[in-house]
Chains A and B, each alone.
Chain A
Amino acid sequence: MRKRRTSLLALPFTIYALIFIAAPLLLIVVYSFCVSPQNGVTLTLEHYKKFFDFSNPVYLQVLWRSIYIAVISTAICLLLGYPMAYILSKLRPGLRQVLSVLFVLPMWMNFLLRTYSWMSLLEKTGLINSFLEAINLPAFNIMYTQWAIVLGNVYNFLPFMILPIYNVLIKIDQSVIEAAQDLGADSMKVFGRVILPLSLGGVASGISMTFMPAVTTFVISKLLGGGQNALIGDLIEKQFKTTGNWGFGSAMSVIIMVLILLAMNFTSSYEKDREEGGQLL
């Protein structure tokens, strides 16, 4: 009886969440099927047809580019991040604590400022090129290309890859590693057969935590990618901020949500496994 009454404490939040979390998402779905949602409800598939128009695949190309850039960025994050997480996890606890704070630190610095700072580093006359010029090396011009977006993504989301992997790695019981050695595994095999499989849960959450912001970003593409490399995020932003075609913008938001759901479905099977396993002592 008393428990029930205490659970009423969640009521204000539940109401708030229904209005500002559940209803808005529902609205997106409804709007995506409306002709011009600002002026009443007339159902249509027009927006989705426009997006998936194979005879004029401009939007599909943008979607493809977004996925392509996000996949590459995520892969680079994984390749750079896993070794870093592994190195961190092997340090003694005190140093480990300090260094992991240092990794989080840039992440909490205003992300627009950091991205903007890359502009001054990457520009034709920027710091990197001045430096390269000074030591007589050819200039490095990736500003306003897809690679600049990849770099911005990797820079901004690398900590999202490192931290979950690191968190899983430090939880692996030392005795499990000893058990593998005891059964005949040398250090390569200990890594390949025990540490790596046990850390896949962290890899999975790292992938979803980097892929999602990378595939939906519009800031990084706008600042570093210039005009020619618009991503799906840029398209959505444009519908709501300039064109005013909310129906089409909603439809693309739904498409992005489906994409994310698919990606999470792919990774969460791993994460669930690990959660179960993690309970074992």
Chain B
Amino acid sequence: MEKELIRLDNIVMHFGGTEVLNCLNLHIRDREFLTMLGPSGCGKTTTLRIIGGFVTPSSGRVLFDGVDITELPPHKREVNTVFQKYALFTHLDVFENIAFGLRLRKVGDADCKRRVGEMLELVNLRGYDNRTVSSLSGGEQQRVAIARALVLHPKVLLLDEPLGALDLKLRKEMQLELKKIQQHLGITFVYVTHDQEEALTMSDTIVVMNRGEIQQIGSPTDIYNEPKNAFVADFIGESNIIDARMEKDYVVRFAGSRFECLDAGFTENEDIDVVVRPEDVDILSPGAGQLEGIVESSIFKGVHYEMIIRTRDFSFLVQSTDNQEIGREVSLLITPDAIHCMKKSPRPHGKEGGEEDA
């Protein structure tokens, strides 16, 4: 993997009396697509603004390529930002918006023209030079904002929920396009979102945050398959989170039964959380599995059916391509590799998913 480019060292941030970031440590590597993911108020945007230089942390250091830039004002930093609501300059046309940074650096007219042209090409806005920004659609404004930030060839591009205001279809298109641009330019993207699907689609690395603390850092597959705690499990994808007791290594008890699992290293009889993904639960005919239950509801979701199956102690969310009639008695099988044991941790409050915004 590439070398480290940005390091956040013990960052603490207070606003008034409230602590927004609590001793945050993070490093960002060159050329990676890193996403900070979490519910609103988790501190992800503040972290981004600290990297951009718009706020100074209460304590801690920001290193860029080994140099301390904690006190450096934004206009001297080698990073550029795509703002949540674009923040385009309404008094300038598309060309001048993109050329803004070049003009400040006294780039000559010919050079300016060439570089803005390249950018317009890159974001598929050729011929838009003289349009006013207010005549553009949301998606087009978005592209101008990206071009304006990229034209300065920053080493790092910061993106603050840039797709939040777009409709679902456009958002999906832009996700792919952003990923393409990042790979084409070979620069670092630091991306902030509350949309887990967006994070899973685009990122090399995901940083899951909650209440000013990092919950987990890892690749999308790591985060999805091996969530470190119940918060991450619940925030990323859907899951059954069940109170459990670790009877001993490789044996866990939950939902009124004893299960084999692959985890070890807990103290004996420790109270833990068990996470089971809905697609990892198998439905068998009565008596054939480990837990007996009744199908309470079933909803067709397009590719699969989503069912709630009530057992004696717990109602499981189960996804399967085969539908089961409501009221039918079934048996559930949960194999050891489907059981993720984790230490107790706070659950997310008011989970924000892509659904609400769509």
Contact = CB atoms under 8 A, between A and B. Distances in A.
Complex A–B touching at CB under 8 A: yes
Interface of A: 173, 175-176, 178-186, 189, 193-194, 197-198, 200, 273, 276-281
Interface stretch (B100-108, B195-203, B234-242, B285-293): B100-108
Nearest to B83: A175
A280 B90 contact: yes
A180 B100 contact: yes
Contacts of A179: 81, 83, 87-89, 148
A184 B104 contact: yes
Contacts of A175: 83-85, 87
A277 B134 contact: yes
A91 B105 CA distance: 31
Contacts of A281: 85-86
Interface in B44-96: 52-54, 73-77, 79-81, 83-92
B335 interface: no
B101 A178 contact: no
A277 B134 CA distance: 6
Nearest to A280: B134
8 contacts: A175-B83, A181-B73, A181-B74, A183-B104, A185-B75, A186-B73, A189-B104, A273-B91
Given A181-B75, A183-B80, A186-B75, A276 B87 contact: no
Interface of B: 52-54, 73-77, 79-81, 83-92, 100-101, 103-105, 132-134, 141, 148-149, 152
The 5 nearest A-B residue pairs measured at CB: A277-B90, A183-B101, A175-B87, A179-B87, A181-B74
B81 A182 contact: yes
A198 B152 contact: no
B101 A184 contact: yes
Contacts of B80: 182-183
Given A182-B52, A182-B75, A189-B104, A197 B87 contact: no
Residue among A178, A184, A185 with max Cβ neighbours from chain B (10 Å) = A184
B54 A194 contact: no
Residue among B54, B87, B92, B100 with max Cβ neighbours from chain A (10 Å) = B87
Nearest to A201: B91
Contacts of A198: 89-91
Contacts of B103: 193
